[in-house]
Structure 1
Amino acid sequence: MIDLRSDTVTRPTPAMREAMANAEVGDDVYGEDPTINRLQDRCAELFGVDATLFVPSGTMANQICLHVLTDPGDEVILDRSSHVFNYESGASGMISGVQLNPIDTSDGRLSTDDVEAAIRPDMPVYARSRVVSIENTANKAGGVVYDLNRIHDIAAVVRAHRLRFHLDGARLWNASVALDVPVHSLVKPFDIAWAAFSKGIGAPVGSIIAGSQDLINAARTVRKQLGGGMRQSGVLAAAALVGLDGYRERLARDHANARRIADTVSDLDAFDLDLERVQTNIIIFDVHDGTAESVIEKLARHDVHVTPFGPQTVRITLHRDISDADVNATMDALKAEFA
């Protein structure tokens, strides 16, 4: 099976399994798990922040971040395609009592003009604009990247209006590799940020929240309130530590393989694909005739599995478990069915 549905489908490597089996553990709710602490210290250095916090999932990471930045009745400005708006089961309203203000953009990325236009006047009839949230890379927009110039420009608007800045960095590792910049440079403009270990890093579970010591202290309390305080969770951190070793070379390979498949898709008249949006490990394209489900069924005949992203939209996602031979087989399957 060539599983291109998501980069969440990776299996722990033998090295990860060995590290998990041998992990030194303690009670992380007491702050006493040495492997969790090593992971948090390593990520604090990578991100250039005071402190970090391991959490079970990306959705929990997003919701903790928004909770510590807002009060009930506040508003979060974000792109309409963002994960927080589309794929988190209305959690922001339920958990934090905030409303989301989704902005339509041309390419899945907010601009300074978008943010300026979305900020509410300071009047009692309006929700208080409180947070600007961006997703880097932007999954639903095709894995496109916010570059440093755009991030700093938006940050300047955020600061001028005394708002808070949140980064959904589920695939932050991919953005760092695509831009060839260190992770800390992409995190520095934000009040709080997070990155997933279960996507580009290839670990089975977990994400890391990064910020000031005060915000991470508050995040630890919210994590406990949401049921995310785990005990001997060093067995999970051990896999993430292994995944961090050499991740940049692995992701660069994923990005190159995504481009190879994208070139094939672009050459086929059955599909419509904007190659400029293939910047990382994600390929999103539209089907001219037929449906996404019909494409999925035809590729499945070749044991190639992709995912629908709309009635006529398909997503392909590259990851560590996809070999060069798998990429060649995928291109062959696309040509066999759609050329």
Structure 2
Amino acid sequence: MTDYIIDLRSDTVSKPTAEMRQAMFEAVVGDDVYGEDPTVNALEQKAAKLFEKEAGLFVPSGTMGNLLACMVHCHRRGTEAIVGDLSHVYLYEQGGAAHIGGIQLATLPNKEDGTFCLEALRRKVRLVDDHEPITALVIVENTHNICGGKVIPLEWIDKLVALLNNNKELQPDGKRIALHMDGARIFNAATALQVPVARIARDFDSVNFCLSKGLSAPVGSILVGSKTFIRQARRLRKALGGGMRQAGILAAAGIVALDTIVPLLQNDHQKTQRIAEAIFSMESPNVTVDLTNVHSNILLIRLTNPKYGANEFSQRCAKVTAEELAVRVCTPVKGEGISLKVSSRDWHVARIVLYQQITDADVVLAIKKFKFVICEIDDALKE
């Protein structure tokens, strides 16, 4: 018999629901490059309304959405965007802002909560010296992936906005530096804060969010902003190869995601919390979690002993041993074992991410497997 696999590497492995598949099958389509796909138009309008922005743009990926925002806001040669040093834009988008957009990314150290020092930001901004690039954009990630799904506090966002709005030295041309939010999981942030996404996005010139992560749609992201911003982004989307034709087949799943999956995101958060509490309660000296800072559907599992790293932990969780099968601790069906897929990059932390297809039964099995593995690790490191 085959092992029972629970894939917790990322919510990018989520699958479209039956309702999404039916909507995709029935979607009314047209040529979106001509602006004639009614389903794409409906999705873009729906997203813009949710965020209280003027317009939206359906793009193939979050990486493209962030790149388009950088290119529109930093359209002048010799400009830069300021980002956190642990941000997805900086770490995991192949340097596209520089490689494709000709935009320099300047970094500030991210704090554990996903924010960065606003006084350091003020000092980082460069606007007047002929030797330096011109700061045109500041990017905030929410929720923050590498920091463990942290929800950026609204109070900090408001202070950031006030800093850029109220300091004339940061506005030499009378216009404040643009703000973009990489909101790949912004609906998780809104769920955790119990506020509409429009409140989080209120003072940002553009926001990008993913449909294909925790929202379970198969493909796509949405970029929202002003009509002028979206018109420029639409033009650049074509240059990047993102002009899709009968894309309503994909957009239909996005509409269903916004209607049916967003209201359920709290379930993912609760399941993540259950796993975190189970690991924390073991009081292992080698494997633990920061229970007080589990905000959403991402959990960082900390490997505190340098003798046992995250890669080793990930490999062990995926493996099924004869000992497990013998004691039947982690066997949903006789003869099967539990293979947990966990993300790691040879850091001191492993990462798991919950999504709609991870059931309550899966959570119970995942906890059993984690406990078995952690006990095994603790016993081995005693020797």
Task: Tell me the TM-score normalised to structure 1 length.
Answer: 0.97
Query: 2: distance between equivalents of 1:136 and 1:256?
Result: 19
RMSD: 1.3
Does 2:289 align with 1:284? no
Query: 1: distance between equivalents of 2:119 and 2:287?
Result: 32
Query: 1: distance between equivalents of 2:139 and 2:258?
Result: 25
Report the Cα offset of residue 44 of structure 1. Answer: 1.1
Residues paired across the two proteins, number: 339
What are the equivalent positions in structure 2 for 1:59-74 lying under 5 Å apart?
59-70=63-74, 71-74=76-79
Partner of 1:27: 31
Query: After TM superposition, which residue ranges in structure 1, 4 or more long, deviate above 3 angstroms?
Result: none
Partner of 2:134: 128
Query: 2: distance between equivalents of 1:155 and 1:196?
Result: 24
Q: 2:259 aligns with which of 245, 249, 258?
A: 245
Q: Say if 1:22 and 1:121 are closer, same or farther in 2 by CA, change over 3 A.
A: closer
Query: 1: distance between equivalents of 2:80 and 2:286?
Result: 41
What are the equivalent positions in structure 2 for 1:181-260 lying under 5 Å apart?
181-260=195-274
Partner of 1:334: 370
Query: 2: distance between equivalents of 1:272 and 1:99?
Result: 38
Identify the range of structure 1 (275-284 vs 319-328) with the bigger mean alpha-carbon deviation.
275-284
- The answer (yes or no) to whether the contact 1:56–1:205 under 8 Å persists in 2 is yes
The CA deviation string for residues 127-158 of structure 1, in whole angstroms up to 9 with x for no partner, is 11111100000000101011222111101222
- The answer (yes or no) to whether the contact 2:84–2:116 under 8 Å persists in 1 is yes
Does 2:130 align with 1:114? no
SS at match of 2:231: helix
Q: Say if 1:121 and 1:237 are closer, same or farther in 2 by CA, change over 3 A.
A: closer
The CA deviation string for residues 95-133 of structure 1, in whole angstroms up to 9 with x for no partner, is 211111111133131242232132126201111111110
- The answer (yes or no) to whether the contact 1:132–1:158 under 8 Å persists in 2 is no
Q: 2:340 aligns with which of 300, 304, 307?
A: 304
Query: 1: distance between equivalents of 2:93 and 2:63?
Result: 6
SS at match of 2:53: coil
Give the share of equivalent positions with the same residue, in percent. Answer: 40
Does 2:107 align with 1:102? yes
Q: 1:75 aligns with which of 80, 85, 93?
A: 80
Partner of 2:98: 93
Determine which structure has more spread, i.e. the larger CA radius of gyration: 2
Query: 1: distance between equivalents of 2:189 and 2:345?
Result: 21
Task: Tell me the TM-score normalised to structure 2 length.
Answer: 0.86
SS at match of 2:315: helix
SS at match of 1:139: coil
> Which structure 1 segments of 5+ residues have no match?
none
Partner of 1:322: 358
> Which structure 2 segments of 5+ residues have no match?
171-175, 321-337, 376-383
